[in-house]
Amino acid sequence: MSTHELYTTPVQDETWTVPLSGDSRFTWEYDDGREKLLGLYQKGKDKQWDAVKRIDWSLEVDQADPLGLPDAANMLFGTSYWEKMSVKERGRLKLHSASWQFSQFMHGEQGAMITGARIVETVPDLDAKFYSATQTMDEARHVELFTKFLQDKLELVYPINDNLQSLLNDTLRDNRWDMPYLGMQVLIEGLALAAFGLVRDMTTVELPKQMLTYVMQDEARHVAFGRLALRDFYRDITDAERREREEFVIEGCYRMRDRFQALEVWENFGIPKADAIELVKNSEYMRMFQSLLFSRIVPCVKDIGLWSERIQAAYDDMGVLDFSKQDLEILMRQDEEHADAMDARRFAAEEAERRAEVDEVISRAAD
């Protein structure tokens, strides 16, 4: 079935074309490279996996409760809108909320795939080209699995959110080679990683938990890649260049915060846009969710050296400045450990099942 048949609102049949500018850079130095970045490249090769085989697609998903989240996690919970809904209508709302969220994950991962290829083309250093090539493959795998989840399990897809599309547009159109790093590796990937983690830790449904756990294992490397490359480059830029990048970060962060209002969902349920914005503002869960989305971005921005008073004031205004105290290395290591623990649990269960089958066969033969 064509994805176009599953969209909540029609989207253009033709592709979205973003005009590109800037240089494609070749390098003739094939031996020299940064040890940490080459180590990340080796890990990227070692950790490749198949979305068809590693994910258990036989697991069922209830479309009336795709993520198994508590009702309090819905923005409408406790409002007059919620009280007027039947059980069936609430189930439909949960389906649309999950579809919207995973649709943005899917669209964002396609943006990351294209940006990864763009970095291979424009970055001047071979070690960075090597790693970006592995990331491009990672992102293709993520698009594949989110697409499969939306098409086969939810059977509903939302178009790309305007704020996400705008940030992708600005990231790809800029002719400076470091801007795709900054827009994608730091802002979009950093926010996505936090969103993945929140859903991974809250969902009680095994299939989305598996998907997000394994995707986060990849994404932790991607954010580390952006940090390593940009930290080196931003040490030597001028004050004017630094200010331009800080303005990009500030504007991008406000856009990304507004991206997760999901106004398209509420409008589909007949809630006026003005009411929806007010509901988002007054929802304790949404305030918590929007704040935690910056748990990876803020310490990363500080780490790469974009940490002027203007940046700090913007984060203070958003209520996320305290995240600058987070230890990114610990967070990334925990993402790796979650995936390893899930593999161990799944393999142990499969081994126990196989042993039980063997024991049953032996028992029958003895009888």
Specify the DSSP element, H or E, that contains 326.
Answer: none
Residue type, 123: V
Whether the predicted pLDDT of 101 surpasses 90: yes
Residue 66 falls inside a structural domain: yes
77-86: pLDDT as tens digits? 988 999 999 9
Residue 349 falls inside a structural domain: no
- Could you tell me the CATH number of the domain that includes residue 201? 1.10.620.20
Distance CA 216, CA 211 (A): 9
216-253: pLDDT as tens digits? 999 888 888 888 889 889 999 999 999 999 999 999 99
Residue 176 falls inside a structural domain: yes
Helices (H), 178-238: 178-180, 189-202, 206-234
- Per the structure block, which two tokens stand in for 69? 């989240």
Helices (H), 23-86: 35-46, 51-54, 80-84
Is the model more confident about 285 or about 149? 149
Residue-range definition of the domain harbouring residue 303? 3-8+34-327
pLDDT at 156: 97
Residue 24 falls inside a structural domain: no
Distance CA 43, CA 131 (A): 9
pLDDT over 90, % of the chain:
49
Residues in the chain: 367
Residue 320 falls inside a structural domain: yes
pTM of full prediction above 0.75: yes
Residue 309 falls inside a structural domain: yes
Distance CA 359, CA 176 (A): 63
Residue 166 falls inside a structural domain: yes
Residue 367 falls inside a structural domain: no
- How much is the mean pLDDT over the chain? 89
CA-CA-CA-CA torsion for 133, 139, 143, 146, nearest 10 degrees?
150
| SS3 (DSSP) at 176 | coil
110-167: pLDDT as tens digits? 999 999 999 899 888 888 899 899 999 999 999 999 999 999 999 999 999 988 898 8
Whether the predicted pLDDT of 102 surpasses 90: yes
Total of domains in the chain:
1
Whether the predicted pLDDT of 359 surpasses 70: no
